Amino acid sequence: QVQLAESGGGLVQAGGSLRLSCAASGSIFSIDAMGWYRQAPGAQRELVAASTRGGSTNYADSVKGRFTISRDNAKNTVYLQMNSLKPEDTAVYYCNADLYTARGLENYWGQGTQVTVSS
């Protein structure tokens, strides 16, 4: 059974930092793209940052220069370093990954981790 396990969310004051982690486990042959999405109350889920296996990255305009996505392919883990956090960054953050399993290429979501930024 394949799982994405997120950690690192919490409550932080504006201007602070948090680091999210997402580890993929189970019967995985390899991992292609990994990324982070977020969903604020009453809003649609949106892409925050994504990374290909080769290291290419892209970011939402709202987080460019503040957030950094990185990954450790040996550990099947993706990270999101969030600096200079703002109250508008408050949301549930979800990990997403394209994984190669015995069934082929599949897309998986983590359970989500809450990030709350107080003003």
**Segments in the chain forming alpha helices (H):** none
Of the candidates 83, 79, 96, the one whose C-alpha atom is nearest the C-alpha of residue 39 is 96
Backbone angles phi, psi at 87, to 5 degrees: -55, -30
Instruction: Give the pLDDT confidence score for residue 54 in this predicted structure.
Output: 86
Question: What is the share, in percent, of the chain residues with pLDDT greater than 70?
Answer: 100
Residue 105 has a pLDDT of 95
Which 3 state secondary structure label does DSSP give 87?
helix
C-alpha distances (whole Å) from 56 to each of 34, 35, 59, 67 are 11, 11, 11, 15
Tell me which residue has tokens 């957030």: 67
* DSSP element (H, E) containing 8: none
**pLDDT tens digits, one per residue of 60-119:** 999 999 999 999 989 999 999 999 999 999 999 999 999 999 999 999 999 999 999 999
Residue 55's alpha-carbon distances to 34, 89, 107, in angstroms, are 10, 24, 19
**Which pLDDT value is given to residue 55?**
86
